[in-house]
A and B are shown apart, each in its own frame.
Chain A
Amino acid sequence: MMPFNYARARDPADAVRLAAGRTEARFLGGGTNLVDLMRESVEVPKTLIDVTELSQEITARDDGSLLIGAGVKNTTIAADRRVRERFPLLARAILSGASGQIRNMATVGGNIMQRTRCYYFYDESARCNKRTPGAGCDAIDGFNRIHAILGASPACVATHPSDMCVALAALDASVHTVSATGHRTLKLADLHRLPGDTPHIETELAPGELITAVGIPPCSFATRSVYRKVRDRASYAFALVSVAAALDLTDNGTVRDVRIALGGVAHKPWRAEKAEAALRGGQATEASFQLAADAELKEARGLRHNAFKIELARRTLVACLAELSRRDEK
């Protein structure tokens, strides 16, 4: 690990001030991802700005929305009664990730901004357009079992590994930030970018822009939701495919509203808008679920080792919707 400076931010403005003009500064959350990457020399920050003590609160509003401070630990969110009641899929998504110890350290901001688990991104000796723009990508023809099937580019086939973000994407969450140029709010689903030709630019955040909180708008039917994660061992593995879904049915079984996001399939948490559109207003049947999955996955492309994910995503999505529709009938 290379030597670095360490500073603890007193408040968000202080954090922004400390980061201003320092392209090699990084905000430090729990460090469960950043410090690992520093050990591997993938990240070589000159300055770490510790933001873990900022905004540790979860605020509930009467309209059913929640505002979660960026410094809140993953464990805290998953254990929060309001989260569990209003947005159970979020608690489930978080609990399916990493391990108890890591979740105790990991923050909301860090979870959102965590970087891909692509093996070639981690290995200094491999070519990676994220680490060295223009270097090439060794994953495309290498081990790509865990890689993207949607929205990938010839420059990068990496995925975003977060479980929490998949639930947040389904919940229409927004991300509040502050930077030298002021405050702004983005939709979480728009925060992460597809790789295109610039896979090293992973989000819409400007350098030095700090996430202060995540807002989740009211969603009455999120109480009927699931998060299902499919992985290579029963625990402590990243998602090969995950599905976050919530379904709102009328009494006669028509889809009034639906939210779907997929994880493990793309460079970002993948809001399945096509599937949602295909379902909205139609009958909730196995056949319509199949069609919705087809609509979403039509453009999915497999590589040598990950083509199975297309079928896996289809099946998992259909099974999740079927489960929700059955649950609704009760």
Chain B
Amino acid sequence: MSVSHKSVGFQARKSTAGVAGGKPDAEHPVGEPLARVDGPLKVRGKARFAAEFALENLTYAALSYSTIAKGRIASINADEAKAAPGVLLVLTHENVSRLSPPPLFPEGAAGSTLPVMQDASIHWNGEPVALVIAESQEQADRAARLIRVTYEPEIAAIEFETVRAKAKAPKNILGEPTCIAIGDAEAALAQAPVRIDNIYRTPRHNHCAIELHALTAAWEGDALTVHDSTQMVHLTQKTLAKVFGVAEQKVRVLAPFVGGAFGNKSIWNHQILAIAAARMVGRPVRLVLSREGVFRETGGRTLTEQRVALGANADGTLAALIHTGIAGMTAHNDCPEQFTFPARHLYAAQTFLLSQKVAELNIVANTFMRAPGEAVGTFALECAMDELAEALNLDPIELRRLLEPDKDPVSGLPFSQRSLIEAYRRGAERFGWQNRSPVPGARSEGEWLIGQGVATATYPYHRFPGGVAKIRLSADGQATVQMGVHEMGMGTATVQAQYAAELLALPVECVTFEYGDSSLPSGVVAGGSCQSASIIAAVNAACEALFDELLKLVGHKSPLTGLIRTDVEAYRGGIRHRRDTDRFQSYVAILNQAGKDVLECEAPASEPSEAKRYSMHSYGAQFCEVRVNTVTGETRVSRWLASFDTGRILNARTAASQFRGGIIMGIGLALTEETFFDERTGRIMNPSLAEYHVPVHLDVPQIEVMWNGSPDPQSPYGVRGIGEIGITGAGAAIANAIYNATGRRIRELPITLDRLL
């Protein structure tokens, strides 16, 4: 069997169709609302996703999941399954090979360090207990249902009430301190003339990416090729190499197309089991999780219980800002849901107490889900701010103006760039905020009460270390940029082609961006809203190396002879002297003169030290209008406007789509989404899109987004990252609008109609 794989690369085609005011700018492709370069392939069904590789001799896998939360497998009877038509293998803890535990993120790609199916023990309800390999998907699915498992259950920690008292502080929270205490916040709160002190609760959420988790895996000797739906090809490569005890170079992971990934397209049990099974049957394996499988076997957002207490002085300034609470977690993962992070950077206060704990549960390892921490943390904090504004008889935007810090309130670092108040001003003007009545229940239409709310959105700037980019320039004037990064629908392939075109001063049509393949130079995870900045830093380095090489190639008779990189700039398909701009030579001419067909340069990104020197965050102001039905309690979001301050925008179209997607997820967080977790059994009871309610079209109003686009002076090319900020503040904006409509403060999500009856 031979498998050949070609990395996917895209050339950008210019198209501004459908975007108002978007005029093509040949010299400056960045910022243009370029249509997605992978769009045509996708609409023609030509984009092949992880489960769409029809390898020769392919076999199909299905999983069977535990039905208890903790204990041991007493017996597995797989006789019937093994005898079923087409079945090649039933993999259980009894016959699986020894597999090393997968390394946890960020060392590896795993959501949990638990060994995978290495003994009879069960750690959560839904843990895979068997995997069937068969000649067809139907045969595998059927046989998986024929496996009979009996258990010796043990008492499991699944009820939040029972573990709350045992909650403890994790060692750190994503490398940050668990507790920040500045001054005596409790004492300051007790003495403050105006106090807000409430508990907010947020439920579990599950990931519902359109593309189910899936892989196609093939061994050739000890070489492994995996098409995986992942947002981390290199970490997946590293993890699989470790688990299967093979060299990293022997593992190739490809993910050119990913049908949505919001933090949990990483390594879970299913890839490891399918790959182990492929080795045992000596044939390639395809595994697509069922929607139920995604809920049972891959983690989502954990539940939180948060206290926000604000003590205000008579002038509205904060004497105390307290944000504490507990999140559910497991003993084998490290996702403490950093909900206190927003309060560390948003507002000035005289004293702070920001600390959070985790309570260990026997659940599927919770993991990252779009703006982990910030999404639910801003719900609590921004609702509390709204409550404080009311208590102070201040407009909520005026309150934010009063609390605007001049440096990071906790670290004391200067802000790299921050225009939150300006974002509020612009948003308020556009939304017509001044027409809102601060008095709840003032507006109605028939059965519907109408209210408006506002909240701050914020998400930190990060940049992952370790990225390497390669640029290949060819004598026909084309450039190819390569990096093992990811396109999950955000627009990476498009905006990076635009960026490279801008950097090299080439028409965007002449640039191809290749990604989604671990055989490319080391990429970074598509997470933390930082892929763009991380790629740009690496591409900048590669471009510098390329210019060094080009200047070495020019020889003695070039207009560029004797110049070094700092003397020159890219200009119209070539290089020119910065001041003496007539001194120009095109790339094509340089390569031709040197007799070279191609020139390749690879370089690592600079160390991401900027975030150590500056407080770097993105901001936004979320404005919304809701209608609450006085008869039924139903809430409908009728208007949305978001005004962002998120650094430079690379592509107006893909950026708007990212913002909107985040806001839509925020509408789900506020109103509809909740994983029903049966606290008697640890079983998830609504593992389907019919019963786990993500917003549908009719739940989503027209969403208007705007941004100031101010480049961040400290980040690569001034970009900060926009993938997650849209969901932050959205829950609070809706809850605050519901208050404005009804006079009811709902501090528990989702705000279903029964909470408003």
User: Which chain B positions have C-beta within 8 A of A142?
Assistant: 678, 680, 685
Min CB–CB distance A38 → chain B (angstroms): 11
User: Which chain A positions have C-beta within 8 A of B636?
Assistant: 234
Interchain CB contact under 8 A, A234 and B754: no
Given known contacts A142-B680, A230-B753, A232-B753, is B685 in contact with A123 (CB within 8 Å)?
yes
Instruction: Flag whether B632 is at the interface (Cβ < 8 A).
Output: yes
Interchain CB contact under 8 A, B757 and A117: no
Interchain CB contact under 8 A, A143 and B693: no
Complex: A3 Cα to B699 Cα, angstroms: 39
Complex: A47 Cα to B681 Cα, angstroms: 35
Min CB–CB distance B130 → chain A (angstroms): 15
Min CB–CB distance B153 → chain A (angstroms): 12
> For chain B, which range describes its interface: under 10, 10 to 19, 20 to 34, or 35 or more residues?
20 to 34
Interface stretch (choices A129-137, A187-195, A312-320): A312-320
Instruction: Flag whether A233 is at the interface (Cβ < 8 A).
Output: yes
Interchain CB contact under 8 A, A312 and B632: yes
Complex: A91 Cα to B696 Cα, angstroms: 22
User: Which chain A positions have C-beta within 8 A of B685?
Assistant: 119-120, 123, 126, 142-143
Complex: A312 Cα to B631 Cα, angstroms: 8
Contact among A232, A235, A316 with B752 in the assembled complex (CB-CB below 8 Å): A232
Interchain CB contact under 8 A, A315 and B696: no
Interchain CB contact under 8 A, A234 and B698: yes
Interchain CB contact under 8 A, A235 and B141: no
Instruction: Flag whether B145 is at the interface (Cβ < 8 A).
Output: yes
Complex: A316 Cα to B632 Cα, angstroms: 7
Complex: A302 Cα to B463 Cα, angstroms: 52
Contact pattern, B 627-668, Cβ under 8 Å of A = 1, otherwise 0: 000011110100000000000000000000000000000000
User: Which chain A positions have C-beta within 8 A of B678?
Assistant: 138, 142-143
Tell me the residues in window 131-185 of chain A with beta carbons closer than 8 Å to chain B beta carbons. 138, 141-143, 145
Min CB–CB distance B652 → chain A (angstroms): 29
Complex: A27 Cα to B271 Cα, angstroms: 39
Given known contacts A142-B678, A234-B636, is B631 in contact with A125 (CB within 8 Å)?
no
In this complex, what residue of A is CB-closest to B755? Answer: A308
User: Which chain B positions have C-beta within 8 A of A117?
Assistant: 690-691
Min CB–CB distance A39 → chain B (angstroms): 8
Complex: A138 Cα to B685 Cα, angstroms: 11
Min CB–CB distance A1 → chain B (angstroms): 6
Interchain CB contact under 8 A, A230 and B680: no
Tell me the residues in window 1-38 of chain A with beta carbons closer than 8 Å to chain B beta carbons. 1-3
User: Which chain B positions have C-beta within 8 A of A3?
Assistant: 142
User: Which chain A positions have C-beta within 8 A of B447?
Assistant: 319
Tell me the residues in window 673-696 of chain B with beta carbons closer than 8 Å to chain A beta carbons. 676, 678, 680-681, 683, 685-686, 690-691, 693, 695-696
Contact pattern, A 236-250, Cβ under 8 Å of B = 1, otherwise 0: 110010000000000
In this complex, what residue of A is CB-closest to B637? Answer: A234
Instruction: Flag whether B607 is at the interface (Cβ < 8 A).
Output: no
Complex: A315 Cα to B671 Cα, angstroms: 21
Complex: A41 Cα to B142 Cα, angstroms: 9
Contact among B142, B632, B690 with A1 in the assembled complex (CB-CB below 8 Å): B142
Of B142, B681, B754, most buried by chain A (CB within 10 Å of CB) is B754
Given known contacts A126-B683, A143-B685, A312-B754, is B696 in contact with A119 (CB within 8 Å)?
no
Min CB–CB distance B82 → chain A (angstroms): 16
Complex: A95 Cα to B480 Cα, angstroms: 52
Interchain CB contact under 8 A, A232 and B145: no
Instruction: Flag whether B94 is at the interface (Cβ < 8 A).
Output: no
Complex: A182 Cα to B754 Cα, angstroms: 47
Complex: A117 Cα to B681 Cα, angstroms: 20
Given known contacts A123-B685, A311-B757, is B672 in contact with A232 (CB within 8 Å)?
yes
Tell me the residues in window 135-178 of chain B with beta carbons closer than 8 Å to chain A beta carbons. 138, 141-142, 145
In this complex, what residue of A is CB-closest to B756? Answer: A308
Of B138, B631, B634, B693, most buried by chain A (CB within 10 Å of CB) is B631
Contact among B67, B631, B695 with A233 in the assembled complex (CB-CB below 8 Å): B695
Complex: A319 Cα to B698 Cα, angstroms: 23
In this complex, what residue of A is CB-closest to B126? Answer: A125
A-B contact pairs, 26 of them (CB 8 A): A1-B138, A123-B683, A126-B683, A138-B678, A142-B680, A142-B685, A143-B676, A143-B678, A143-B685, A143-B686, A230-B632, A232-B693, A232-B753, A233-B696, A234-B699, A235-B697, A235-B698, A236-B690, A240-B753, A308-B753, A312-B632, A312-B633, A312-B753, A312-B757, A319-B631, A319-B632
* A residues whose Cβ falls under 8 Å from a Cβ of B: 1-3, 39, 41, 117, 119-120, 123-126, 138, 141-143, 145, 230-237, 240, 308, 311-312, 315-316, 319
Additional A-B contact list (7), CB under 8 Å, known A119-B686, A123-B685? A1-B142, A138-B680, A142-B678, A232-B753, A312-B632, A312-B633, A316-B632
Pairs A-B, 5 closest by C-beta atoms: A125-B67, A234-B698, A308-B754, A119-B685, A235-B698
